[in-house]
Amino acid sequence: MFKLSLFKKLPIQLIPASAKAYQNIDQIKIQSKVLVISCGKKSVKASIYLKKKFKGLVFNIHIQDPKSNHNLFDLIISPEHDQLKNQKSISTLLLFIILILI
């Protein structure tokens, strides 16, 4: 219980990645442009990794505040209560986000 609450307060860069989550990430092959949509703290590192590895081929969108450098994402969609003020971010009601993605 303590471990989980501690990680919630740390920046994403300081949270150790789960080996299981990334064990096959190097096997991903991308040859044409793709859209990567990530959501939540645990998916931030994978989205950034793919964006850097496949320069120019990955357009990444993150839902919620990634609590990381916003310049590492092409677009951030966050709930209004996150109050992100960034050229690459859209603040909206969570319900609206869900309707767009369905």
> How much is the pLDDT for 27?
81
Q: What is the pLDDT of residues 20-61, one digit of tens each?
A: 556 677 788 888 999 999 988 888 988 998 999 999 999 999
Is the pTM above the cut of 0.85?
A: no
In this predicted structure, the answer to whether residue 82 has a pLDDT above a threshold of 50 is yes
In this predicted structure, the answer to whether residue 84 has a pLDDT above a threshold of 80 is yes
Of residues 88 and 102, more confidence is placed in: 88
In this predicted structure, the answer to whether residue 65 has a pLDDT above a threshold of 60 is yes
Q: Where are the domains of the chain?
A: 30-101
Centroid of chain to Cα 101: 15
